[in-house]
Amino acid sequence: MMQFLPTDEQTAFAEAIDEIVTANGGADVVQAWAAGDKAAGLALWEQFSELGLGGLRVAEEDGGLGASAVDLAIVFERLGYHGVPGPYIESLAFLPAVVSDEVRAEICGGAMATATYAPFVPYALDADVASLRFAVDGSGVTPADAGDAISSMAKTRTLFPLSGSGTTTAVSAEALDRGFAEAALATAAMLVGAGERLLDEAVEYAKIREQFGKPVGEYQALKHHLANVRVALSFARPLMLRAALDIDSPNRDRDVSAAKVSAADAATLAAKLSLQVHGAIGYTAEHHVGRWVTLVPALVQSWGSTSFHRDRVAAAILNQGA
Amino acid sequence: MNLDFTPEQEAFAAEARAWLAENVPTERLASMDTAEGFEQHREWERTLASGNWSVVSWPAEYGGREVGITEWVIFEEEYYRSGAPTRVAQNGISLLAPIVFEHGTPEQKAKYLPLMSNGTEIWAQAWSEPGAGSDLAAIRATATRDDARGGWLLNGQKIWSSRAVWADRGFGLFRSDPEAQRHRGLTYFLFPMDAPGITVRAIEQLDGSTGFAEVFFDDVFVPDEDVLGAPGDGWNVAMSTAGNERGLSLRAPGRFLAPVDRLIDLWDERGESEPSARDAVVDSWIGAEAYKLFTWQTVSRLLQGGDVGAEGSINKVFWSELDIHIHETALRLLGPEAELIGDGAPVGGKWAEDYLFALAGPIYAGTNEIQRNIIAERILGLPRGDRRKA
């Protein structure tokens, strides 16, 4: 029977992630990583590994959790909500679909892995702290060394060019497409989560910040901005969940792309309007809302831009000129 | 979590599809806001009822099939996909009937529901007044007690009353206690549109039709048996319909999936002349899919015993803006032919007519500004403030 809501188990798993992040300091973890202190973020990675996240999409007989793509989406929505730094998309969503059994077992055991995937992901996220690095393209997966760090506008993201330093293992196009779909779905989910966080931050701030003798949240101009964000996010999430349900269906690429487009647009609106509601304080490095404001445009362009994904939807639904 | 339907639900969809394919008129009916078109649409309601498809979710004794909400959404999707006519009975079956089921006496149910479901009695709504639009609680039309005859006398003016020009019966709120403020002291009345003392003046709309009207009440007598719910409790009684109108019942996903299917056909036919409209076509499809999936999420919550509540406002803002986006995109693809209506126009001017209808979406059923206030205050928890302070 049709039941298009997360199960109690899925909700409980999402709450477990929330609790771990909160117990470790919440936004302080993000702010510390942005300032160059990665200890708390790496500790968080270890705790998530103990929860089994490294094997989220690895079959139970191979030592993983054997979780579904819906579970993946729900987990990444929470990771986006908390802005958790680290190469989670690469390790948990992309690489498990394309690497060898041995590498998959290492990631499953908690190893941090990162990757490039030409041409969508030209730089590897956090290659300085990852113990495994792979340059992936149509020819296969190549162990790689990291070049010099490049900064991102999102201070929680440090990017590295990779150069192959080992033997390339060929990977089927099917496995690459699967890995890309899982990574794009995870990115869409992170964007939905980041959007929800930006909305929550703006709502809380609008309740306490006073101007002209009353909370700014009483002004309709501001209420309507935030209502528009609520509407956009509420309609992005069901597309993300349907894409997860369709991960093994012929509609996979169409639905993942629709989810990424919708999540990107909703999160972009959330980022702009959340910053607007915060005003000048949101524009400071001191206030943590900026971590999400800058994370969103980075994720929007990662794992396929909005134009790329819109093109894929067009190709699936239009006969002419797609 | 799944989006899978049972074999019984699949069979129900197939049965509806087959019946609609057999029975939907091949010729487009005249506008239901003309005398001729109104009767054509009433005839279509009779046809629907003859196949037991007019009110699928209702109890069998009133003409329904007693199916659940999942089947209702499935039916609506098939209905719109089939290109079937707009429902002239909608005010009654979508807005009034849920209240009659909840608040009506057994006599009222027996008196009104069967005739409503088979097209014999078409209902008009009489909510708004010249001074009470989005601020519905500002209603001033009065109901005064007539103990001698055992009922009430209605006086005042209603406006923007949908279907009032040709409808058989009407429903609306009147102030029965002049001392009570705003939401208190209102009573919900049902009345025949040809009752002595009622004068209807048609209002020509933006699209030239007369889909709504002004209704003047001059000592219109309504017996106690035609009061819906308790006297003085009209606001609470009426709000169950507002929730319905904004939420699920007015706009099933098929309402948007079907025009998006047609929009994609239009793109395939004419996209070459307006290639920059392609992303708008794609976004229309994504929006209609999102709306469908959001609806299944709402249905899932209702099946678990939840309710729609203020989420209906999120829904209303989204569908009304999606509807305009879909039709604006069609106009782009039609180019200089977009403005044409009637004979000689592409598909008889359907895109232009539906565009004008879509433009009303953000206004009726509570303007989108009111909906955004509801979202901000009741869902996001932003402070309401004292809006009425001078």
Residue A287 pLDDT grade (very low, low, confident, very high; cuts 50, 70, 90): very high
What integer pLDDT is reported at residue B135 of this predicted model? 82
Could you give the CA distance from residue B345 to residue B366 in angstroms, rounded to a whole number? 33
Nearest CA to A277 among A212, A193, A192, A219? Answer: A219
pTM above 0.90, yes or no: yes
Residues 305-334 of B with CB under 8 A from A: 311, 314, 317-318
DSSP B96: I
The values of phi and psi at residue B9, to 5°, are -70, -40
The β-bridge relationship of strands B212-223 and B186-192 is unpaired
Closest Cβ opposite residue A5 in set B1, B381, B385: B1
Residues 67-126 of B with CB under 8 A from A: 70
Contact status, residue B155 vs residue B219, Cβ threshold 8 Å: yes
**Sign of the CA dihedral running A171, A172, A176, A182:** negative
The β-bridge relationship of strands B151-162 and B142-146 is antiparallel
What integer pLDDT is reported at residue B180 of this predicted model? 84
Residues of B in contact with A226 (CB under 8 A): 376, 380, 382
What integer pLDDT is reported at residue B241 of this predicted model? 58
Report helix angle A252-278 to A306-317, nearest 10: 140
User: A-B interface: how many C-beta pairs under 8 angstroms?
Assistant: 154
- Catalytic member of B245, B269, B272, B377: B245
Contact status, residue B206 vs residue B359, Cβ threshold 8 Å: yes
Q: H-type helices in A116-251, by residue range?
A: 173-208, 220-245
Q: How far from the centroid of its chain's Cα atoms is residue B129's Cα?
A: 18
Cis status of the peptide bond prior to A119, with omega within 30 of 0: yes
Q: How far is B270 from chain A (nearest CA, A)?
A: 9
Tokens of A33: 């990583």
Q: Strand (E) positions, chain B?
A: 123-126, 142-146, 151-162, 169-175, 186-192, 198-203, 212-223, 227-228
What integer pLDDT is reported at residue B162 of this predicted model? 87
Q: Over 70: is that where the pLDDT of B99 sits?
A: yes
Buried-state track A33-69, b at ≥16 Cβ within 10 A, e below 16: bbeeebebbeebbeebbeebbbbbbbeeeeebbebbb
| CB under 8 A, 24+ apart: contacts of B15-19 | B16/B53, B16/B74, B16/B75, B16/B78, B16/B79, B17/B78, B17/B81, B17/B82, B19/B51, B19/B53
Flag if A258 and B318 touch (Cβ within 8 Å).
Answer: no
Q: How far is A317 from chain B (nearest CA, A)?
A: 8
Contact status, residue B235 vs residue B184, Cβ threshold 8 Å: yes
Q: Over 90: is that where the pLDDT of B249 sits?
A: no
Contact status, residue A110 vs residue A49, Cβ threshold 8 Å: yes
Q: How confident is the model over A14-42, as a mean pLDDT? A: 97
Is B245 considered catalytic here? yes
Could you give the CA distance from residue B164 to residue B169 in angstroms, rounded to a whole number? 8
Contact status, residue B326 vs residue B355, Cβ threshold 8 Å: no
Could you give the CA distance from residue A185 to residue B63 in angstroms, rounded to a whole number? 46
Could you give the CA distance from residue B158 to residue B213 in angstroms, rounded to a whole number? 8
| CB under 8 A, 24+ apart: contacts of B142-147 | B142/B174, B142/B175, B142/B176, B142/B178, B143/B174, B143/B175, B143/B176, B143/B187, B143/B189, B143/B222, B144/B176, B145/B176, B146/B221
The values of phi and psi at residue B146, to 5°, are -125, 85
Residues of B in contact with A1 (CB under 8 A): 2, 4-6
What integer pLDDT is reported at residue B207 of this predicted model? 79
Could you give the CA distance from residue A268 to residue B277 in angstroms, rounded to a whole number? 22
Q: Answer whether B4 touches A (CB < 8 Å).
A: yes
Q: Over 60: is that where the pLDDT of B245 sits?
A: no
Could you give the CA distance from residue B384 to residue B378 in angstroms, rounded to a whole number? 9
Tokens of A250: 């012929």
Q: How confident is the model over B51-57, as a mean pLDDT? A: 95
Flag if A218 and B287 touch (Cβ within 8 Å).
Answer: no
Distances (CA, A) of A44 to A77, A145, B170: 16, 25, 63
Triad B34, B39, B42: Cα angle to 5° = 120
Flag if B1 and A224 touch (Cβ within 8 Å).
Answer: no
Share of chain A above pLDDT 90, in %: 98
Q: Residues 6 or more apart from A301 whose CB is under 8 A from it?
A: none
Better-predicted residue by pLDDT, B305 or B51: B51
Tens of pLDDT, residue by residue over A188-207, are 999 999 999 999 999 999 99
SS3 B161: strand
Residue A98 pLDDT grade (very low, low, confident, very high; cuts 50, 70, 90): very high
Closest Cβ opposite residue B318 in set A6, A199, A231: A231
Tens of pLDDT, residue by residue over A131-151, are 999 999 999 999 999 999 999
Q: How far is A321 from chain B (nearest CA, A)?
A: 7
Q: What is the ipTM of this complex?
A: 0.97
Tokens of B91: 């005010």
Contact status, residue B154 vs residue B215, Cβ threshold 8 Å: no
Q: How confident is the model over B143-151, as a mean pLDDT? A: 97
Q: Which residue of A has its CA nearest to B7?
A: A1
The values of phi and psi at residue B363, to 5°, are -100, -50
**Which of B286, B291, B370 to mutate to test binding with chain A, by most A CBs within 10 Å of its CB?**
B286
Tens of pLDDT, residue by residue over A234-269, are 999 999 999 999 999 999 999 999 999 999 999 999
Whose structure tokens read 């790496």?
A42
